[in-house]
DNA sequence: ATAATAGTTGAAAACGTTTTTAGATTACAG
DNA sequence: CTGTAATCTAAAAACGTTTTCAACTATTAT
């Protein structure tokens, strides 16, 4: 059994409250006795029972992180950033993998509440799952997705601006016939990017018939691949593709190459999210993304502001997008 | 403040110990009163305080997972598997990212002890860090790396057999001049694979001059790339490469292609670990790996056997390797 | 109807801390 | 020396549970 305060107290012939004070430096003056207590604590290998501490203090230093798929590099990178940001502030991360499963997400939500976490950072499975996190009297931060109800804190990239930037970049690179490949889903991420795409078209006076909006069957490689194949069979070949995400973009690259065009010079392609694959020399996809570090830092900061500074206001943060220039444009 | 047992007890006019029993179904017979208690608990939104439960039961249902880099797909996949395996047994994962930093690893070790986790699954930063986990009176499982001291549980792929299998496969595919690219490091993973390579050479009567052992500068793409470049400048061209890991293998692929040879037909390449990239159609690397699910399941099972079945024996599990056939051989 | 038994219940202790309270000691000024 | 303030210490309460124990209440067998 682990050593407790009482064990140390017995050895040092003091009460265990004195030991507690010695270890937490709650004494005004340092003294020989205090030193002695600290030394025997170390000698006995004392390790404070965080469970007891948290129980009596009625707060934990744990942040729950709910993400859809830790094996996906996009999420694992964010996880790393959240972990780093938490550690920096003295907090730990309780990892929850919802597996794109809303039932699991709910289960984890309850579990985290039972564990009395300081707060939760959530990348929800879908927009419907947002309601799971309302009225929880634990601070919640939605990461990377906006929501209709304004009661939840959000930290997201400015997707409108991001898509605008991406489209503008292609136009400035000389692209005259553009296509946006994505999924038409009732979802802020999607609709913001589409809006951004459209306002860039307008801002640069690109005619409607020179800019299409194509549906992808999935968010994966295949979706981008088949959509692009279809696009390339149409007359009046396009020369710029904005893909909803990097996977779709990589699928598009494959299709473009198969059809005998050269990615970058014949057809420029830009994606979103800066997935790990995109950096591979063989792929080298130009993409736009928020800084994950920023995203994570802000999210953690919001939670801590609630529990430590007694913040009450709901926060909605829009982070500026960042273009990552590589070889597909 | 959250609802407690006492709140429910007050409403139902019973003692709080009765409420506890009702909620945990510790009563032999179901009765109307029990149902009433459970209903008011639900109505009030009762959520048990796990901290208190864990304190009094003197055990948690948390497994600490210490890995070097969650953003690396290799580790994030294992993380996912550990998380799944834990969830299946009713445990949760406390994620710790050591960042290849032994000081951080130590800090996390202490933190997990303070949290009184049920056990730890560790993928150590280096062989030296093994000693951090000795004599902890918490069950420890080293995942994916063997250690000299037999006091720690280990679950690893049989690296000797794995390298043997990989080499044998190349030989049977018709490769006559082989090279192994890896790092010569005092490390079981490395040395076991080298031994496996050598015993396959011996078993199939490959002469020493037809089989080299090349050092890679790093475990990354570049290491494999430069080593292969060097190899290809030698006379009497090789036709089969066994790389210590997939990154080195992918680097080697790049070099092979640059030198004008065709991966697969001219020069076969096989890696280890089945990193996520390896599955990409553009890469499609043949590789050998353990089943991460198995690895994780066994590790979790060992920890649970200690805490729930009072197991005392240290276990050393060797998991069979698995060849993943793709297009580089 | 009564005794024996089985099942249910409430009080209380325990888990390992922090923190409040009140008491004891020290220090210092008058 | 005494009185007061300042500081330190021990005891006890609290955090929210589970669990033991003893007391009680049904239930069954005689």
Q: What is the pLDDT of residues B257-266, one digit of tens each?
A: 999 999 999 9
pLDDT score for A266? 95
Q: What percent of chain A clears pLDDT 90, i.e. is strictly above it?
A: 72
pLDDT score for B289? 94
* Positions of E strands within chain B: 62-67, 92-97, 119-122, 140-143, 153-157, 178-182, 211-215, 240-243, 268-272, 286-289, 316-319, 322-324
Q: Is residue B245 over pLDDT 80?
A: yes
Domain A159-289 -> CATH class: alpha beta
Collapsing DSSP to helix, strand or coil, A321 comes out as coil
DSSP secondary structure string for all residues of A109-168: HHHHHHTT-SEEEE--SSGGGGGGGSS-SS-EEEES---S-TTSEEEEE-HHHHHHHHHH
Measured between beta carbons, the chain B residues lying within 8 angstroms of A57 are none
Strand-pair partners of B242 = B180, B270
B59 touches strand C (CB under 7 A): no
- Per-domain residue ranges for chain B? 5-48, 60-157+292-319, 159-289
DSSP secondary structure string for all residues of B271-301: EES--GGGGSTTT--EEEE--HHHHHHHHHH
Q: What is d(CA A46, CA A3) in angstroms, rounded to the nearest whole number?
A: 5
Chain C, protein-covered positions (CB within 7 A): 7-12, 14-20
pLDDT score for A12? 86
Q: What is the pLDDT of residues B46-103, one digit of tens each?
A: 999 999 999 999 999 999 999 999 988 889 999 999 999 999 999 999 999 999 999 9
Of B51, B84, B110, which has the smallest distance from its Cβ to A55's Cβ?
A: B51
Q: What is d(CA B145, CA A45) in angstroms, rounded to the nearest whole number?
A: 28
Query: CA A18 – C1' C25 distance (Å)?
Result: 16
Residues present in chain A in total: 329
B279 pLDDT band, cuts 50/70/90, is: confident
Q: Is residue B112 over pLDDT 80?
A: yes
Select from B112, B124, B106 the least CA-distant residue to B64: B112
Q: In terms of DSSP bridges, do strands B92-97 and A92-97 run parallel, antiparallel, or are they unpaired?
A: antiparallel
- Chain A: residue nearest B81 by CA? A71
| Burial track A157-166 (b if 16+ CB lie within 10 A, e otherwise) | bbbbbbbbbb
Instruction: Please calculate the CA angle B318-B324-B329 and round it to the nearest 5 degrees.
Output: 125
CB half-sphere exposure, B177, CA atoms < 13 A: 12
Q: Is residue A281 over pLDDT 80?
A: no
Q: Is residue A146 over pLDDT 90?
A: no
CATH topology identical between A59-157+292-320 and A159-289: yes
- Check residue B209 and report its DSSP letter: G
How many CB atoms lie under 10 A from the CB of residue A170?
23
B80 close to B67: Cβ distance less than 8 angstroms? no
Q: Is residue A27 over pLDDT 80?
A: no
| Burial track B218-233 (b if 16+ CB lie within 10 A, e otherwise) | ebebebbbbbbbebbe
Q: What is d(CA B106, CA B128) in angstroms, rounded to the nearest whole number?
A: 12
pTM for the full predicted model: 0.84
B218 pLDDT band, cuts 50/70/90, is: confident
Q: Tokens for A2, please give them.
A: 């682990």
Q: Tokens for B226, please give them.
A: 């430069």
Looking at the complex, does the CB of residue B95 fall below 8 Å from at least one CB of chain A? yes
Instruction: Tell me which of A141-155, A170-184, B26-40, B192-206 is least confident.
Output: B26-40
Of B52, B60, B276, which has the smallest distance from its Cβ to A73's Cβ?
A: B276
**Residue A267: exposure state from Cβ atoms within 10 A (0-12, 13-18, ≥19):** buried
In terms of DSSP H, where are the helices of chain A? 5-12, 16-24, 32-44, 50-57, 73-88, 102-114, 159-172, 188-203, 221-233, 246-258, 292-309
The predicted model gives A273-279 an average pLDDT of 84
Looking at the complex, does the CB of residue B80 fall below 8 Å from at least one CB of chain A? yes
Looking at the complex, does the CB of residue A105 fall below 8 Å from at least one CB of chain B? no
A127 close to A145: Cβ distance less than 8 angstroms? yes
Measuring from the CA of residue B29 to each C1', which nucleotide is nearest? C7
- Check residue A320 and report its DSSP letter: P
Q: What is d(CA B233, CA B231) in angstroms, rounded to the nearest whole number?
A: 5
- Check residue B180 and report its DSSP letter: E
Is it true that domain A59-157+292-320 has CATH number 3.40.50.2300?
yes
Q: Domain B60-157+292-319 is of which CATH architecture?
A: 3-Layer(aba) Sandwich (3.40)
The dihedrals phi and psi of A212, each to the nearest 5 degrees, come to: -105, 170
Interchain contact, A282 vs B254, CB within 8 Å: yes
pLDDT score for B186? 74
A225 close to A256: Cβ distance less than 8 angstroms? no
Query: CA A68 – C1' D26 distance (Å)?
Result: 53
Of B69, B80, B276, which has the smallest distance from its Cβ to A97's Cβ?
A: B80
Looking at the complex, does the CB of residue B280 fall below 8 Å from at least one CB of chain A? yes
Q: What is d(CA A121, CA A106) in angstroms, rounded to the nearest whole number?
A: 14
């Amino acid at each position: 059994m682990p050593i407790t305060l009482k064990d140390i107290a017995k050895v040092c012939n003091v009460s265990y409250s004195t030991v507690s004070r010695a270890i937490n430096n709650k004494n005004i003056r340092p003294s020989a006795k205090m030193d002695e207590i600290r030394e025997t604590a170390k000698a006995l290998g004392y390790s404070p029972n965080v469970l007891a501490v948290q129980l009596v203090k009625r707060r934990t230093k744990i942040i729950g992180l709910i993400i859809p798929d830790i094996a996906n590099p996009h999420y694992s990178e964010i996880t790393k950033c959240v972990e780093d940001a938490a550690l920096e502030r003295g907090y730990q991360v309780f990892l929850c993998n919802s597996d794109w499963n809303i039932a699991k997400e709910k289960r984890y939500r309850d579990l985290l509440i039972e564990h009395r976490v300081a707060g939760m950072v959530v990348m929800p499975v879908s927009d419907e799952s947002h309601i799971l996190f309302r009225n929880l009297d634990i601070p919640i931060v939605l990461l990377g997705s906006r929501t209709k109800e304004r009661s939840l804190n959000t930290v997201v990239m400015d997707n409108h601006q991001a898509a605008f930037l991406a489209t503008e970049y292609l136009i400035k690179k000389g692209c005259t016939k553009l296509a946006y490949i994505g999924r038409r889903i009732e979802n802020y991420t999607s609709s913001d990017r589409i809006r951004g795409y459209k306002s860039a078209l307008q801002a640069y006076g690109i005619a409607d018939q020179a800019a299409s909006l194509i549906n992808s069957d999935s968010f994966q490689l295949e979706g981008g691949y088949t959509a692009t194949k279809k696009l390339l069979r149409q007359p009046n070949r396009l020369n710029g593709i904005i893909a909803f995400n990097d996977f779709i973009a990589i699928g598009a690259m494959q299709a473009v190459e198969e059809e005998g065009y050269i990615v970058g010079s014949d057809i420029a392609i830009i994606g979103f999210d800066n997935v790990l694959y995109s950096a591979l020399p063989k792929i080298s996809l130009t993409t736009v993304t928020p800084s994950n570090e920023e995203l994570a830092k802000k999210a953690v900061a919001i939670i801590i502001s609630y529990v430590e500074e007694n913040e009450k206001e709901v926060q909605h943060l829009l982070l500026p997008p960042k273009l990552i220039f590589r070889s597909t444009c």
